[in-house]
Structure 1
Amino acid sequence: MRTAVPLVAVAHGSRDSRSAANVAALVEVVRALRPGLDVRLAFLDLSAPRLGDVLAAVAGEGCRRAVVVPLLLGSAYHARVDVPAVVAEARSRHPRLEVLVSDVLGPDPRLESAALRRLAAAGARPGDPDLGVVLAAAGSSHPPANAVVAEVARRWADGAGWAGAEPAFAAAAAPDVATAVERLRARGARRIALGSWFLAPGLLPDRVREQVLAADPRAVVADPLGPDPEVAELVVQRYATAEPSMTARYA
């Protein structure tokens, strides 16, 4: 039996078909973890279905409430502007539908765990003093979003037993990947690994991959976080805290 309040997981969207497929795989993990939960996938742009269309379908089915969970790693432009704008329009068009919006996914230790698992799967394990790790993210004009990534890299630098760990950004913020690699080599790193602070493949993950391989053709490159069980649990937890009646059941 499904719950009466749908979880609408909304990702940014991409022209790269790998991105939508990866997000859809994450949503399938959420469904597998919580079979009674009505989980729907939506996108802000470039992919279908769009968030507004999904909310219209939910309203058309007679639902009185929906919870939008932004599949965003930080609170930057998409979370602060795009999602609220679409939700406001949906509320105007469907006044009988109450739309709640949860927090974004980050920051949360489960994202760090997933990123470390992706690094380990690529061959970059903690405790290697010759290894320097670049933690690459999209980058934002909103400094607090970048600061979250820098803080994760700082914790890794202090506790993972590597030569160092540096944040890097694909756009809109510094340092870039090449600068991060230079800093790591100055600290004695003989080998480089690229950690991913991206949810899914796409243009920006490809960009940072190309940049790190240009700096070090032997660099180890981790996959985006993708359909990780802890990320799926985090999605459910964000839903539960936004929808109080579900907290006891799904938190």
Structure 2
Amino acid sequence: MRPFVLAVHGSSSPTAAATLERLCDAVEALGGIRPIVGHLDHQAPSLAEALSERAVVVPLLLGDGYHRTVDIPAVVEGHGIGCVLARGLSGEPAIAVALRDRVREAQEGAGVRADAVVLAAAGSSRPGGNDGARVAARQLRSLLPGVPVRVAYCSAAEPSVPEAVARLRAAGHGGVVVATHLLAPGRFTLALASAGADAVAAPLADHPDVAALALRRYEAAARRPGAALLPEAA
């Protein structure tokens, strides 16, 4: 099998590594291959250090902003001999299912019932960078019938998460839950605790559907024409 590298942003949060470790455990249990995690920032190994010849690189990102479209391709092109870059996770129904499950968990943990949801995404100023969040919100609405879902951003775009929560409060909603459209703990997830919601859902990376999606991305990229396995590895 070709090496499997997960390209992640990286976080200074001590719980981020544990979240990604659970993701890697789940991928290995499903597919018999353990990913290597390569970081763009904050942690080691870097993405460049994690690459090996003919690796399949899966961007563990929920949007198509600068990191997915510029940073990661540049590293792979510059350091990865024979490497293949897979698609990110943006826009996939599996993400909406994970968001729904996390919202339900947050409701139960806080003892509230959501009558409105704010989907909190990282945010991007790059054209198309927020499309994944918008698609996820639309898909989540279909999974939560009758519950309005509003998109908000932790940076680089508007409205902010506190602004979106406040608008829903002003509209008369008494049970507002933040659906965390983020993968691992970090400064953005810490900030959500003070956004004014009744409950904040956990990030998504260690949800089983995210592990299955990352594995599918790996397998599809490895089968891509021009990226076939060497005969001895088939």
| Shorter-chain TM-score range | 0.7 to 0.9
Hey, which of these two has a bigger chunk of helix by percent?
Answer: 1
**Change beyond 3 A, Cα 1:178–1:162:** farther
Look up the match of 2:44. 48
Name the SS of the counterpart of 2:178 in structure 1.
Answer: strand
Name the SS of the counterpart of 1:134 in structure 2.
Answer: strand
**Root-mean-square deviation over aligned CA pairs:** 2.2
Letter in 2 for 1:16: S
Q: Which has the larger radius of gyration?
A: 1
Look up the match of 1:228. 207
Q: Give the Cα–Cα distance (whole angstroms) in 1 for the partners of residues 134 and 92 of structure 2.
A: 14
Aligned with 1:34 (options 1, 9, 31):
31
Q: Give the Cα–Cα distance (whole angstroms) in 2 for the partners of residues 81 and 15 of structure 1.
A: 22
TM-score, normalised via structure 1 length: 0.81
**Change beyond 3 A, Cα 1:159–1:18:** closer
Q: CA deviation at 1:151?
A: 3.4
Map of 1:63-102 to 2, 5 A cutoff? 65-91=54-80, 97-102=81-86
Look up the match of 1:189. 173
Contact 1:124 1:193 in 2 (8 A): no
**Change beyond 3 A, Cα 1:147–1:88:** closer
Q: CA deviation at 1:156?
A: 3.8
**Change beyond 3 A, Cα 1:163–1:88:** closer
1:133-185 per-residue CA deviation (whole Å, 9 max, x = no partner) reads 11101101124232331333244446623442111101000011222123323
**Change beyond 3 A, Cα 1:78–1:220:** same
Q: Which runs of 5+ in 1 are unaligned?
A: 60-64, 92-96, 247-251
Contact 1:23 1:226 in 2 (8 A): yes
Q: Give the Cα–Cα distance (whole angstroms) in 2 for the partners of residues 226 and 189 of structure 1.
A: 29
Name the SS of the counterpart of 1:188 in structure 2.
Answer: coil
The runs of 4+ residues in structure 1 deviating greater than 4 Å are none
**Change beyond 3 A, Cα 1:185–1:124:** farther
Contact 1:138 1:204 in 2 (8 A): yes
Q: Give the Cα–Cα distance (whole angstroms) in 2 for the partners of residues 227 and 38 of structure 1.
A: 14
Aligned with 1:10 (options 4, 7, 11):
7
Letter in 2 for 1:137: A
Q: Give the Cα–Cα distance (whole angstroms) in 2 for the partners of residues 144 and 124 of structure 1.
A: 34
Q: Give the Cα–Cα distance (whole angstroms) in 2 for the partners of residues 38 and 109 of structure 1.
A: 24
Q: Give the Cα–Cα distance (whole angstroms) in 2 for the partners of residues 158 and 229 of structure 1.
A: 20
**Change beyond 3 A, Cα 1:153–1:202:** same
**Does residue 136 in structure 1 map to residue 127 in structure 2?**
no
Contact 2:24 2:34 in 1 (8 A): no
Q: CA deviation at 1:74?
A: 1.1
**Change beyond 3 A, Cα 1:165–1:38:** closer
Q: CA deviation at 1:129?
A: 8.5
- Percent identical across equivalent pairs? 36
Letter in 2 for 1:88: E
Name the SS of the counterpart of 1:167 in structure 2.
Answer: strand
Q: Give the Cα–Cα distance (whole angstroms) in 2 for the partners of residues 15 and 181 of structure 1.
A: 27
Map of 1:160-171 to 2, 5 A cutoff? 160-171=144-155
Larger deviation, residues 19-28 vs 105-114: 19-28
Q: CA deviation at 1:241?
A: 1.4
Q: Which runs of 5+ in 2 are unaligned?
A: 230-234
TM-score, normalised via structure 2 length: 0.87
